[in-house]
């Protein structure tokens, strides 16, 4: 048998040389390998980012600064000067709000300019008290009396008119193209004290439904198809704009979830644009029907334990309301509306009423002390 041990060093030399050649070819001749064998060079398989983390942060900060500079002059603060100690208003931030005694101007909400000649958009709940006089303060320190207020209670939107010219109007975007995870910026008067406060976040959810108040007057401030965001929104931010990364308004900030962090809601700007079109065409918003009751939901479990039907337990009937005139009493349980059973959704009544117009009839099937009664109610017009 031939002795191959003498050839081992030579083999090792050529094997090593071959490895070196392959490595050099891989590093220095990537283009040739790509053309001949379709093999991508390492720098193409694992491309390096052209922007460092620090540069990316600087770009994001610069973007926010640019948006604030662009839109900041269009954001306003809504104030009231009358004594409001005894005035109680519904608040989408939970429960009721009380004013303080005295005539010092109080910042109560935010808004934004939609026309150069003095049209301002805010939330209806910010200016819901028709007995008060409101003012608007612009970012340049000027204050204007509000001459007219048109309220859209079904969407919690209000349009204010001030005598001004040369204002800087916002650019209204398109909320139908929003995506979950999209970057957003909110501007407003946080806590009714800190004007032009800027917060950032993302779109956390779309198509949400919220109850922005109480069931008072049978008119629940039920807002559907709203935007959920984790941008910080506080009382005082209400009515301010929610913006995209190029400074377009994509929503109007309206409420925060009670007992939760980083959950806030905005009305989509497309809803605002529809309301504005109606206002500009007719000079007012469509009338809203209402019943005139305050109620609490009786769950299925509670109903079983108390041997009563599941439904809406009436805790208050508004004096002079359609419900009172039709004979609805405190303690009644509404368990059917227009022949449909009340579900576990506490907004069954408000949803049914939202499809009606003032003077339309609604049939209530009521359980009263063990007896069933059918009551037809001619709905009234909700006061703006």
Residues identified as active-site: 125, 156, 238
User: HSE of 93 in the Cβ direction (CA atoms, 13 Å)?
Assistant: 20
Q: Are 354 and 347 in contact (CB under 8 A)?
A: no
Rounded Cα distance between 363 and 355, Å, is: 14
- Please give the C-alpha separations between residue 140 and each of 74, 116, 191, 248, in angstroms, as whole numbers: 10, 15, 20, 21
CA atoms within 13 A on the CB side of 354: 15
Distance CA 351, CA 218 (A): 10
**209: closest CA among 219, 230, 223?**
223
Task: Based on DSSP, count helices (H) and strands (E) in the chain, helices before strands.
Answer: 8, 23
Closest CA to 144 of 117, 104, 114: 117
Residue with tokens 């039709």: 326
Q: Radius of gyration over alpha carbons of the chain, in Å?
A: 31
DSSP 346: T
Contact 252, 226 (CB under 8 A): no
Work out whether the CA dihedral 89, 241, 231, 136 comes out positive or negative.
negative
Give the angle 341-361-297 at the CA atoms, nearest 5°: 35
């Amino acid at each position: 048998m031939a002795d191959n041990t003498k050839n081992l060093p030579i083999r090792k030399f050529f094997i090593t040389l071959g490895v070196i050649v392959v490595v050099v070819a891989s590093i220095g001749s990537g283009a040739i390998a790509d053309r001949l064998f379709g093999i991508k060079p390492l720098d193409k398989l694992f491309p390096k980012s052209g922007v460092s983390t620090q540069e990316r942060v600087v770009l994001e900060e610069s973007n926010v600064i640019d948006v604030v500079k662009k839109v900041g002059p269009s954001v306003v603060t809504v104030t009231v000067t009358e004594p409001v100690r005894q005035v109680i208003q519904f608040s989408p931030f939970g429960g009721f709000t009380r004013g303080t005694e005295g005539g010092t101007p109080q910042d109560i909400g935010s808004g934004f300019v939609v026309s150069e000649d003095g049209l301002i958009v805010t939330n209806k709940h910010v200016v819901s008290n028709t007995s008060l006089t409101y003012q608007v303060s612009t970012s340049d320190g000027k204050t204007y009396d509000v001459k007219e207020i048109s309220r859209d209670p079904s969407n919690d939107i209000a349009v204010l008119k001030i005598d001004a010219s040369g204002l800087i109007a916002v650019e209204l975007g398109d909320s139908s193209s929003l995506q979950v995870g999209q970057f957003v910026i909110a501007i407003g008067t946080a806590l009714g004290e800190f004007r032009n406060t800027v917060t950032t976040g993302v779109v956390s959810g779309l198509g949400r439904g919220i109850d922005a108040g109480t069931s008072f007057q049978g008119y629940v401030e039920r807002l559907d198809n709203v935007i959920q965001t984790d941008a910080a929104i506080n009382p005082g931010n209400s009515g301010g704009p929610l913006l995209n990364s190029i400074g377009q308004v994509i929503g109007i900030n309206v409420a925060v979830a009670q007992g939760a962090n980083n959950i806030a809601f905005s009305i989509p700007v497309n809803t605002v644009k529809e309301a504005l079109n109606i206002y500009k065409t007719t000079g007012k918003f469509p009338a809203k029907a209402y019943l005139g009751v305050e109620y609490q939901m009786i769950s299925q479990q509670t109903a079983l334990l108390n041997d009563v039907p599941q439904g809406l337990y009436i805790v208050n009937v508004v004096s002079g309301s359609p419900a009172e005139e039709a004979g609805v009493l405190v303690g009644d349980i509404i368990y059917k509306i227009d022949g449909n059973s009340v579900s576990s959704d506490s907004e069954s009544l408000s949803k049914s009423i939202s499809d009606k117009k003032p003077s339309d009839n609604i049939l209530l099937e009521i359980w009263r002390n063990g007896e069933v009664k059918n009551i037809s109610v001619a709905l009234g017009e909700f006061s703006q």
